[in-house]
Amino acid sequence: MEYILIIIGAIFVNNIVLAQFLGICPFMGVSSKVKTAVGMGGAVLFVMTLAVIVTWIIMHYVLIPFEIQYMQTIAYILVIASLVQMVEIILKKMSPALYQALGVFLPLITTNCAILGVAILVIQKEFNLLESVIFSIGNAAGFALALIIFAGIREHMDKLNIPEGMKGIPASLVVAGILALAFMGFAGMV
């Protein structure tokens, strides 16, 4: 039951994008098409899960034993950058269309503060490795859910007659705010 609460809390209650405001850059940048949003959600799921596993191991078996916890952020950034490079190489070989669709936003996963934030949160919450993996999967799923919903709304908005001054980013920010308010309705669940 504890693991289910971790997942529900990560996806709905403490959504990494809509409640904690981490990962806003790819959220706004890749959310113009649902197909691209699904690809980005998958890439974030893969990178976030692997990053949390590797960073948890590094923290507990390298940084803490050698009492160099102050190197946490630098070590985590190096791990995340390496994993993103790996994902980029795999996508280029396996799915060139998705690689092209993600374009500049794939390297942005390197600087996606949601991935670094989740890696740091699992240490702050003192999760064991299994709880950390479940937490990272839940956060990645929450990121993907918010991204896909937002992309669907933005695709629909392209067909609407929106006043000229509100087209593009202003309307998107209003919709993102309303979506964040909608997710706040889950606050009493966990």
Burial of 89 (0-12, 13-18, 19+ CB in 10 A): exposed
Residues of the chain with pLDDT under 70: 104-105, 190
pLDDT in tens, 18-59: 999 998 888 888 788 898 888 888 888 888 999 999 999 999
Q: How far is CA 8 from CA 3, 138, 139, in A?
A: 9, 7, 9
Per the rule left: phi > 0, alpha: psi between -120 and 50, beta: everything else, 168 is left
pLDDT for the residue numbered 92: 87
pLDDT of residue 109: 77
Can you spell out the DSSP letters for 43-108?
Answer: HHHHHHHHHHHHHHHHIIIIITTTT-GGGHHHHHHHHHHHHHHHHHHHHHHH-HHHHHHHTTHHHH
| Structural domain boundaries in the chain | 19-184
Q: What is the pLDDT of residue 36?
A: 84
Residue the block writes with tokens 């980013």: 169
Q: Which position has the token pair 């509100």?
A: 166
The token duo for 114 is 């949601």
pLDDT, residue 96, reads 87
- Residue 105 has a pLDDT of 67
- What is the structure's pLDDT at 124? 96
* 44 vs 104: CA distance, rounded Å: 14
Q: What is the DSSP string of 102-141?
A: HTTHHHHGGG-HHHHHHHHHHHHTT--HHHHHHHHHHHHH
Q: Residues 180, 155, 145, 83: is their CA dihedral positive or negative?
A: negative
> Which of 123, 110, 118 has its CA nearest to residue 135?
118
